Amino acid sequence: MLLSPETVNFNNLSVAVPSFIRHPTLRKLAERVQHETLNTLTSPAMYEAHNTSHSTRILDSLYQTPIADASILVAITHERKPKLLLTRRAAHMNSHAGEVSCVGGKHDRGDGNNVVTALREACEETALPPNKVQLLGQLPIQTSKSGMSVRPIVALIAPGLVLVPEVGEISRIFWADFESLVTQPTVEYAVEYKMQDQVATLLTPSWQVDGETVWGLTGRVIANLLETGFDRQLEWYYRVDNNR
């Protein structure tokens, strides 16, 4: 590990201001995600009589959001050709072993909010420094196959960071070309799924990224991100393959 979460400050967090983002794809994404994030405020009227900055409103909205069972960081590099950070979970993990995921994990009591959960877990898993992160906002809750509520936190990160996988949890760090995800068609993926004493083959959409298959909750999060940011409508389904 290059960083220890115990020595990292999670209090001084920054928010990306869309008007300061030069790259059109990222600027559009920031505008859309932040618009949706502000719509989750419990009481937007509380800002009408105060000269409150846009960044403060975003942070307040994120901090007011009810705490989920887990949070993930949807981290995109802030550069002309942005990339999405992905990992493959270690094969020995008790849940989602060997599957592709965004960095993140379960909420700890000391976190205080979903943002700190996502950043702390990202730091633990990849040594991603929180001070290299600019928050965009959040996406709607997703539910994992184990029934956990998962809150995606969307952010820009500095390009060229040296990230190190925590071998106890992560077997590989890799990157998806973000603009390709916006336009690339999905590929139907067959996965074996055990239901009680029977094994069924489920068909579901996926992306093929650098030799990895991105599906499941991670695929749903990406699909929702693309719908929010770019109006891309993707049907996300799980269908039993009766031909096998």
DSSP character string of 11-41: SS-EE--GGG--SHHHHHHHHHHHHHHHTT-
- 112-137 mean pLDDT: 96
Closest-CA residue to 15 (of 136, 150, 182, 172): 136
What average pLDDT does the chain have? 89
Cα gap 190→171, rounded to integer Å? 23
- Give the pLDDT band of residue 182 (cuts 50, 70, 90): very high
pTM of the model as a whole: 0.91
Q: What is the DSSP letter of 113?
A: S
Q: How far apart are CA 145 and CA 79, in angstroms?
A: 34
Say whether 157 sits in a helix, a strand or coil: strand
The pLDDT assigned to 6 comes to 55
* Spatial distance between the Cα atoms of 153 and 138, rounded to a whole number of angstroms: 4
Give the whole-angstrom CA distance, residue 106 versus residue 69. 6
Q: How much is the pLDDT for 169?
A: 85
pLDDT in tens, 6-59: 556 677 789 999 999 999 999 999 999 999 999 876 555 555 556 678 899 999
Interval 204-225: pLDDT, tens: 999 999 999 999 999 999 999 9
Tokens 């009591």 identify what position?
Answer: 109
Residues sharing a CB contact under 8 Å with residue 57, sequence separation 6 or more, in sequence order = 38, 41, 47
The structure tokens 């379960």 sit at: 106
Find the length of the chain: 244
**pLDDT beyond 90 at 70:** yes
Torsion, Cα of 145, 150, 35, 12 (10° steps) = -160
